[in-house]
Amino acid sequence: MMLVRDIMERDLTSLSEETPLLEAMALIVTHKTGGLPVLDNNSRVVGFLSEGDVLKAAIPGYLGYMDENFAAPDVGKINARVKRVGDDPARNYMTKGALVFDENETVSNALVALFKRNVRVAPVIKNGSLVGIVNREEILRGFVQNNFGDGEES
């Protein structure tokens, strides 16, 4: 049985609740991830700031109304909004009560939970402390390696 700890990324990059949004955005981009866990002063996961949360902060009100007639705001307006909210703390935009997995959770259960909640990446904890993140790509990679060894079909 494959466990989350077997496939999780052990990058412990995280944000504090006070991390400015612009800095959080830079970390998400630099680490090429779908988001980062947000920790309190006791290093406990209290939320998750996803790329979706950041985009909602940059263009509030627009993402909920996207359909075939949707007209996106121009880039200048988005840049101005990012500058206005860039110093706001991550806690203002993070998802509270984020999906979190214990490292001993089965990969199958994690995959189901990720899809049910429409989440791409989630923090992994051990005894309440952050030990990594798991994402759908790593789960897929784990299944491929489990079935084909090195990820290459034989």
Distance separating alpha carbons of residues 146 and 30, to the nearest angstrom: 29
At residue 74, the pLDDT reads 72
Q: Count other C-beta atoms under 10 Å from residue 24's C-beta.
A: 25
- Interior angle at CA 94, CA 68 and CA 117, nearest 5: 60
Q: Where are the domains of the chain?
A: 4-148
Give the tokens for residue 146.
């489990």
Q: Is 81 helix (H, G, I), strand (E, B) or coil?
A: helix
At residue 139, the pLDDT reads 82
Lay out the sheet containing 45-50: strands in order across.
Answer: 15-16, 35-39, 45-50, 95-96
pLDDT block averages, 10 residues each, the chain of length 154: 91 94 93 92 92 83 56 73 85 93 94 91 93 88 71 46
- Interior angle at CA 72, CA 70 and CA 74, nearest 5: 155
At residue 68, the pLDDT reads 57
4-148 carries CATH number 3.80.30.20: no
At residue 72, the pLDDT reads 64
Please name the residues in contact with 92: beta carbons below 8 A apart, sequence gap of 6 or more.
Answer: 21, 57
Cβ-contact 77, 50 below 8 angstroms: no
At residue 67, the pLDDT reads 57
Distance separating alpha carbons of residues 148 and 145, to the nearest angstrom: 5
At residue 80, the pLDDT reads 79
pTM of the model: 0.81
Q: Is 8 helix (H, G, I), strand (E, B) or coil?
A: coil
Q: What is the CA radius of gyration of the chain?
A: 17
